[in-house]
Chain A
Amino acid sequence: MLKKTALFLGLVFIMGCSSSDESKGGSTDDFDRSALLINLADNIIIPAYKDFGPKLVTLKSAVDEFVATPNQSNLDAARNKWLTAYKAWQHVEMFNIGKAEDLNEYYYFMNIYPVTVSDIENGVSTGAYDLNKPNYHDAQGFPALDYLLNGLAADDAGIVAKFSTDANAQGYKTYLTNVINQMDNLTQQVITDWTSSYRDKFVSSTQNTATSSLNKFVNDYIFYYEKGLRANKFGIPSGVFSTTPLPEKVEAYYNQEVSKALSLEALNAVQDVFNGKAFNGSATGASFKTYLEYLKVDRDGKNLSTIINTQYDLARSKINALDTNFSKQVKTDNSKMTIAYDALQMAVVYLKVDMVQAFNISVDYVDADGD
């Protein structure tokens, strides 16, 4: 027994010498963060919203018209405007800051997919649903419009019939109207906030704390890249996070031909923000790129901003090699999908490790893929 206790005593014997450790975080370099925030707000974020907002209003008019007069030409028009607005949406989804965040994630009401068809159909037939409730996040927004305008029946005549002669026609009309009204209402709130008060608040928050504008924006940017772009559009459908591929989980699944176009819009949006490229034009300003160049951040002897842009370009070339319909791509040759995913993933390390370290910004979320 004595021997045993002696063994225990010697178990962990640590001699520590304390030393005054320089505090981590909080410090900033001399880069003009304010110029970066101003360029983001005035030349990218607000113009992107000002592009998206009217396109959504146009979509709303087309949907209203289709609801008033369900026929083939109004269905075509609504689909057309849906795609235009959906593409514009790809340029704002990453801005989950300010009002968008205060709404308990604006994008939850705009682009959670795949939709839960049973929630929509139950809502249509019973009229008992509340789009403000979290369990309806995956039964509204662009994906719900995709289902209602493209997936309700095997052919167009069948879809038009759902809104005209079907026993639940009124239910479908009401549901469709509620979805577009919700999207429009929330979007106007976000835009109004940016153009009235939030812009000034955003650009004047130049400190380096967890709640400062740039800290939050960088986190939102990387989170969107990792989740909204990389995982949702590529990783999940190609089965990276599951045992088998899930081709029914692509964006715009019911449309069957635009998942690639939407993902390319999203990648362009991500890269333009990185480079500080004006939404309306080709001018560039203060950005993550110029910040990295100011700090002279290298990786393996190469300019980090160049490495990131090269990686985005490589990812784009891999995406360009895919079928217009990712669902089809996953079924015919999933390895091309995972190659595109892998190219996107490569940039995560550059952004989430190298870039945030250079900016002295902490990542405020952790992947939950462990044991």
Chain B
Amino acid sequence: MRKILLGIAITSALLTSCSSDDDSSDATKQIEVPSTYKFMRDGNSTVSFPGQTTRIEMAMELRSALGDNTKTAAELLGMFAHTEGDNDFSEAGLNASGKNIRSKVAASKEYFAANTTVSNQIKSLMDSWIEEQATIVFANWNTIATAGSAGQLQQAGGGKMRYVNAKGLELDQAVAKTLIGGLMTDQMLNHYLSTSVLDEGANIANNDNVIVDEGTSHTTMEHKWDEAYGYLYGNEIDPSTPVLNADSFLNTYLSQVDSDVDFAGTASAVYDAFKLGRAAIVAKNYKVRDEQVKIIRENISKVTAIRAVHYLQEGKVKMATGDVAGAFHALSETYGFINSLQFTRQPNTDAPYFTHKEVTAFMDDLMEGNGFWEVTPETLDTMSATIASKFGFTADAATN
């Protein structure tokens, strides 16, 4: 049975050529959206993104460790900026890896190659959150938080315990939600899907002539595209047919956005664009490829914005009902999502929807004085409206 399947898979990459006398461009080629993200060459899969899966797995372990009050700052920072061979993770494979999370935060070619100063600021801010989680929040794990001092707060109705810093911020949420933008979105939209990466050096010529990377079955361009794919779907059991909710990061929040009726179809739009763009690379049709990049950029950027507004509103509602812990949790999520807005990408431009300066101003507003303990519903509403209108949706739509 296997053999039959394999044989069919080979013939599935069926090419029909027709000659034409005119100067018909590549645009006349028709490419169908493949049903799954499976691509083969000579019987071998050409899809590979182990580095992305590794980083998502590292981020998953870091995220749980940030909620483990027995960890030290050094241990947590070691997980963030892992060095090959260090015993930072529970998985031996991750410890052996030469990859780490920190070096790929705010590190895309198009946004940060000539902006290392800001990249360093973003990385250092995350370092400081991780450090504060261990030294301040863990140290006050069993005291009740009040305005101006760190501790625990329980959500209404016997709900979850939340552990916040002196300003009411859950630092683990700030870290996790910043990774959605700073690691996944930035690497995907502003690095691997950029023409400066996809078309770098001889990539086009090599892809045109099907010159594969040494020891692999893929061309460089195919691989770059797959690495973008991996940051979204790399933790799926079968990444070729994603089911979503497979990590605690972009993959899951794409699913959450998609389940809001106002934004239904976002997930399939992204998946289809990834498949079609990859098929277009195989077909050497870079126009179709770049159209898919536009679709991915627009939709993935929206995910961050919709969740930012969603949690701003949830925070406001819970605050009104007196559920302080619930409100702070929602606002902590939003805090990271807002930070992530600087990594979004307006299609057809080389700019984010909100700049580093603008998101820093939002974050400063939320942290002013005693932070979440003092923030007003008006501030949350104004911020919601500013973000939503920039992306062309309403705060109401994002609320469900």
Contacts and interface: CB of A to CB of B under 8 A. Distances in A.
A and B: partners?
yes
Given A12-B34, A14-B31, A334 B114 contact: no
Contact of A5 (B5, B25, B102, B117): B5
A15 B196 contact: no
Interface string B187-202: 0000000001000111
A14 B282 contact: yes
B51 A371 contact: yes
Contacts of B1: 1
A277 B38 CA distance: 55
Contacts of B8: 5, 8-9
Contacts of B51: 371
Contacts of A346: 114
Contacts of A370: 224, 227
B192 to A, nearest CB: 9
A48 to B, nearest CB: 29
A151 B16 CA distance: 69
Most buried by B among A4, A19, A338, A348: A19
B86 to A, nearest CB: 12
Nearest to A240: B116
Contact of B279 (A12, A334, A362, A371): A12
B279 A19 contact: no
B359 interface: no
B348 interface: no
Interface string A236-265: 001110010000000000000000000000
A243 B202 contact: no
Most buried by B among A4, A24, A348, A370: A370
Contacts of A363: 201
Most buried by A among B11, B26, B117: B117
Contacts of A24: 205
B29 A14 contact: yes
Nearest to A9: B12
B14 A12 contact: yes
A335 B12 contact: no
A11 B12 contact: yes
A362 B202 contact: yes
Nearest to B117: A338
Given A14-B14, A16-B17, A338 B120 contact: yes
Interface residues of B, number: 56
Contacts of B202: 362
Contacts of A14: 13-16, 29-32, 279, 282-283
Given A8-B5, A11-B35, A14-B31, A19 B23 contact: yes
B83 A243 contact: yes
Interface string A1-33: 100110111111111111110001000000000
B19 A18 contact: yes
A349 interface: yes
Contacts of B227: 370-371
A136 interface: no
Contact of B20 (A7, A19, A341, A345): A19
A10 B29 contact: no
Contact of B117 (A8, A11, A342): A342
Contacts of A20: 23
Interface in B353-398: none
Nearest to A242: B103
Nearest to A238: B116
Interface in B44-60: 49, 51-52
B38 A11 contact: yes
A353 interface: yes
A9 B40 CA distance: 13
Interface string B316-348: 000000000000000000000000000000000
Interface string B72-96: 0000000001010000000000000
Contacts of A19: 20, 22-26
A65 to B, nearest CB: 44
A17 B34 contact: no
A11 B9 contact: yes
B39 interface: yes
A62 to B, nearest CB: 39
Contacts of B196: 349, 353
A68 interface: no
Interface of B: 1, 4-5, 8-9, 11-20, 22-26, 28-32, 34-36, 38-39, 49, 51-52, 81, 83, 99-100, 102-103, 113-117, 120-121, 196, 200-202, 205, 224, 227, 279, 282-283
Give me the 7 closest cross-chain CB pairs, A-B, nearest first: A371-B51, A345-B114, A11-B12, A366-B201, A338-B117, A338-B116, A346-B114
14 contacts: A1-B1, A8-B8, A10-B35, A11-B36, A12-B12, A17-B19, A17-B20, A17-B24, A18-B19, A243-B83, A346-B114, A365-B201, A371-B51, A371-B99
Given A17-B18, A243-B102, A366-B201, 11 more contacts: A4-B5, A11-B12, A12-B39, A12-B282, A16-B18, A16-B29, A17-B20, A338-B120, A343-B114, A348-B113, A371-B49
